[in-house]
Structure 1
Amino acid sequence: MTAFNASPREFLSDLFKEAVAVADPMRVVAAHLPGRPKGRLMIIGAGKASARMAEAAEAHYGPSEGLVITRYGYERPTQGIEIAQASHPVPDVAGEVATKRLLDLVSGLGADDMVVALISGGGSALLCAPVEGVSLDDKMAVNRALLASGAPIAEMNVVRKHLSRVKGGQLAAACYPARLLTLLISDVPGDNPADIASGPTVGESSTPQDAIDILERRRIALPDHLRRAICDASSVVPPSDARLSHAETRIIAAPSHSLAAATQIAKAAAVDVRDLGDALEGEARDLGAEQARQAMSLQAAMTPTDKPILLLSGGECTVTRRGDGVGGPNAEYVLAAAIALNGQSGIHVLACDTDGVDGAAEVAGAYAGPDVLSDAVSNGIDANAALAINDAHSFFDAVGGQIVTGPTLTNVNDFRAILILPASA
């Protein structure tokens, strides 16, 4: 066979770029938009991709009425739809104020009106309307504790729903009796609409006790007033509620679509692709080490003339805070993989978040080749020490392995790729 002549880092980076591009709202929103209603058209939304989705909606409809809430720095030019910016992953006052205005916009709509809700990952923090008896400071503290606990996104969202007046179907109830069409860009393992941005327009079947059980299991302190608020003020909307009868939900972009696009490019380059799934979860460091061992096992069985192998996966890993370093799940995955590979020739690793933000840092993720550990030693850096304190971003900054994209204006979660060349390559 012809030797693999591409730069491994450039090859993996190109795959990531295509994974992001295929989820660009400008490519996926318009095909799902219906005609204008007899009454008012109201376009609302929340998430890291919501401003770009609003831009796409106005490219289809022209100047429109509405409001979407996105992360600071993710705004886009729109003609009529207002773009509000707020904090992510921990909510802030700006998000609380914008959410109240969004709820005011949809109140009083009639049966001839239509709401188009543009929802993407990040909406859980950006849609902020605490239940009675809960302050914004309370919400911020719970969010921080959940993020540090290593809880998977589904558990985090159950808690968020029962502390909110907008999540868990409550936004849909506020839109009733207007027709509601929700367009979702999925960033959650399994693509469950109830988990995307905590399901503001989707019925919720969990109970207040489920939320309390999660907090207790994660050993997160639960003051008495928060316990009372969850039990007494929670008003999530069950799937059978009549106020959801005019609501329709569509997933228009998902991690599986992005992995499929990357697969096409890799196969065109004569690379053998092994798709490990788009819904992998767990500790980032554990998955990184596990997939590194898998890569070494596959390489050991290769001959010098075999095609390169690409391991692709998506999903959402977590990081349990052990230190005060600067890191995120994708960079921690790559660091753990690099340590497990220990300089193994011919194996290259990339992992990035498709929204351009890995954890809370303005870094998409990281790349590691066989020389990364020796480069670290030359710079006086201990890879194991960095991993021990969750300092993967600082590690890759020092060795030139950071990947910085800026806002990608979409969000279909983590993208992980391991390129395996024959050992002699």
Structure 2
Amino acid sequence: MSDQPLYGFDTLQIHAGARPDPATGARQTPIYQTTAYVFRDADHAAALFNLQEVGYIYSRLTNPTVAVLQERIATLEGGAGAVCCSSGHAAQIMALFPLMSPGKNVVVSTRLYGGTVTQMSQTIKRFGWSAKFVDFDDVAAIAAAIDDDTRAVFCESVANPGGYITDLDAVAKVADKAGLPLIVDNTSATPYLCRPIEHGATLVVHSTTKYLTGNGTVTGGCVVDSGRFDWSASDKFPSLSAPEPAYHGLKFAETFGPLAYTFHGIAIGLRDLGMTMNPQAAHYTLMGIETLSLRMGKHVSNAEKVAAWLEKDPRVDYVTYAGLPSSPYHDRVARICPKGAGGLFTFAVKGGYDSCVKLVNALEIFSHVANLGDTRSLVIHSASTTHRQLTPEQQEAAGAGPSVVRISIGIEDPDDLIADLDQALSKATA
């Protein structure tokens, strides 16, 4: 089908990028479980390797099943193109790879998933890159952190674990003024709740493992390019604006225009980093996306009910859900996430660390796992798990202090979830 603007989200989540298989007429996208593809002739092979023709060479680079997923996510996000890869963490490295070089830095939010904090504060140093952590509620501090070596600004739309909503419009203005791309991790919101490109984001990254797949079966990641950034406006991004030696001096920005970043992600990023998404994972994610709007609506309605109940419970110190009128981020919901604040948030248990551990152990419906965005409700004590590697100061800044539990609200009966939390809180605070 033609992905025209006249189609609504519910239609696009099913049809975008997908067409009946030309060989068999199969209506569901087949799993093309193949490593390589036969070339028509020597000239065809040469044209593909020279980036003069679009097609399939080798499944580390491109695969028909993965290609459908890339087109679908790009369409739902309002982007020009997308590159899928093996995990959300892989997507973050893929996103930075064309932008960074030794000695360069990225300005990042303090409110990030604990693994991302570790990746940004520790792992990227091995590439000679560095990260500056800033409270993104303070746009002046973001601007002050940017220097001549900054190459990107990075944040989450709905921050994990606390469910804080970033003022993307304000952050985008700072990045745009500095001539830098804004990278937004939209995993917790999905394009159903938030479309960062409409708020000025240059790139959007996803852990497709989470809400996009929605059933806890596979890992994956995606980088979506808005196609709106002028990579040739300065000399800061030579990977995209300068001649590429591996392709006989081809300039990606000049040759591919709005798709420059996407083509670079495939022709250089996947070629050399090899963070490939397998076709079966892409198939599972495609099936998950078909029900994305239905699931996200239920996640939101359940989260609103559970969060409201928790906020009134005397055994709970506070709840961070932005969908609550008491949240300092509540005024951003209508503007940034007009269909709801998502299904992820934290709450603090009276009694601190020990009470949190008892709560997690006492829950019956909630699964204690290091994941989010499942149809099942999930719980984790971030300070002892996902954010364990961080300092106490970093944990508090990320909203993952010792008395805090993160819950990912699923699509079960909300009354059952409340009853489960009630009995667990009784045991945790007895």
TM-score range, shorter chain: 0.3 to 0.5
Which has the larger share of strand? 1
TM-score, normalised relative to structure 1: 0.34
